[in-house]
Amino acid sequence: IVEQTGGTILAESVLGAGPTFRFSLPRPTGPLEEEAPRPAEPESKVADLTGQGRVLLGEDEDAVRAFASRALANRGYEVLAAASGVEALELFEAAGTVDIVISDVVMPEMDGPTLLRELRARDPALKVIFISGYAEEAFARNLPPSERFSFLPKPFSLKQLVAAVSETLRA
């Protein structure tokens, strides 16, 4: 995040004293704008977050994979969960059809963008959502500009996940 905003990180280590990290961030330019208080939002109807379809989920963190799998299965989706990009590719091959892929950007053995390239070779129209704790711009520059995918930043809520899947499937 520091480097993405144009800052730097300097690390020093002294034997017996431990490491010291110094962060420098760019100074904001221009006048500071105060954000006007937002009016209270009227209560909206609760959206129907149920769905159907086969979801391939590639996520190396056990807790995130379990949370996302349960959340999607409870909303009516069939979930194929993989702990790596290689395992996700194997599940994709065995599944026959997949409606949408949700993939972490950083995974062991094969990262999300590499998985996407492999999957596009097999199904050019496949719908994909990347999930990551990194900013979208940090990995999107490694993909062709014409590449189509959705992005959901971590951490995300159950409602955000299901809404992203529903919206991406409708697009």
Q: What average pLDDT does the segment 9-26 reach?
A: 86
Q: What is the largest CA-CA distance in the chain?
A: 60
Which pLDDT does position 35 carry in this prediction? 58
Which pLDDT does position 81 carry in this prediction? 96
Helix (H) or strand (E) holding 115: helix 112-122
Tell me if the bond preceding 108 is cis, omega within 30° of 0.
no
Which pLDDT does position 59 carry in this prediction? 94
Which pLDDT does position 70 carry in this prediction? 93
Report residue 35 as tokens: 């954000």
Which pLDDT does position 40 carry in this prediction? 56
Mean pLDDT of the chain: 84
- What residue has token string 């599944």? 95
The tens digit of pLDDT for each residue in 34-67 reads: 655 656 555 445 456 677 899 999 999 999 999 9
Percent of the chain with pLDDT over 90: 42
- What residue has token string 């993909």? 143
Which pLDDT does position 78 carry in this prediction? 95
pLDDT class of 33 with cuts at 50, 70, 90: low
Closest to 88 (Cα-Cα) out of 69, 101, 74: 101
The tens digit of pLDDT for each residue in 133-170 reads: 876 666 666 677 778 888 999 888 889 999 999 999 98
CA 154 to chain CA centroid, nearest Å: 6
